[in-house]
Amino acid sequence: MRKQIAAANWKMNLTLQQAETLMDELIATPHELNENQEAVFGVPFPYLISIKNKLAGKKNAFVAAQNCYDKKSGAYTGEVSAEMLKSIAVDYVILGHSERREYFNESHAMLAAKIDICFANGLKPIFCCGEPLAIREADTQNSFVETQLKESLFHLTAEQLTGFVIAYEPIWAIGTGKTASNEQAQEMHAHIRSVMANQYGAAVADSISILYGGSVKANNAKDIFGQPDVDGGLVGGASLVAADFAVIINSLK
């Protein structure tokens, strides 16, 4: 059974004190994870060690970096390497978020390199993909997302992609209050799985956790996660409210 994941993306929010308070509140808020469920917290770089320490001993709860660089080391002032993240026992790394693609011009090739360097350091990528509004309105979202997958993932082996995590984020639904309908989410998640199945076979595709990201909230998570190919969510704003994110965790299948 593939993993069901509630992943928080705190983005560039919160002071350390606020971050620690939020995590304390969430730990104290009733929520439960069974064997095939995980809660993942994508926190700003300066807080990774602190939040990881707070999660010590918590069942199926992990930290994620929000990015890493595609080079091993060197004169890249301000960047953070996969090796650095490995050295502090980070579990996951979010890669290819639409904000990284748009604001920092991250290419398919760069993301492929980032995935490789994460694997080389034992880090689990959460690979983001998704289309902007113009592509959705032109009804070319399937081919757009398929290109993202092919150009960043298709160099990987079936073994590397077994149990992989993909997050589908319709860019037009991130932070806008708009959410893809349950049918739209399921349609794209099924398409992503079919693309992976065509390349790597049904067994690999069925093992991949595909998360939905885009204005997931406490009041819609259960319906979205209830779709057969939706395996949880990558959650932005609602993950900054402990009570809301606890509801989202409890909405996993």
Q: Which of 38, 99, 131, 169 is catalytic?
A: 169
Instruction: Return the percent helix, strand and coil in the chain, to nearest 5.
Output: 45, 15, 40
What is the C-alpha separation between 191 and 143, in angstroms, rounded? 10
Query: Which pair of structure tokens corresponds to residue 138?
Result: 């032109």
97 is known as an active-site residue: yes
Q: Which of 31, 38, 97, 189 is catalytic?
A: 97
Rg (CA), the chain: 17
What is the C-alpha separation between 11 and 32, in angstroms, rounded? 24
Query: Which 3 state secondary structure label does DSSP give 75?
Result: coil
Query: Which pair of structure tokens corresponds to residue 136?
Result: 């959705």
Strand partners, 95: 127
169 is known as an active-site residue: yes
Q: Report the half-sphere exposure of 125 (CA within 13 A, side-chain side).
A: 29
Task: Spell out the residues 6+ positions from residue 34 whose beta carbon is closer than 8 angstroms to its own.
Answer: none
User: Which of 180, 210, 181 shows the shortest CA–CA distance to 193?
Assistant: 210
Which residues participate in catalysis according to the annotation?
97, 169
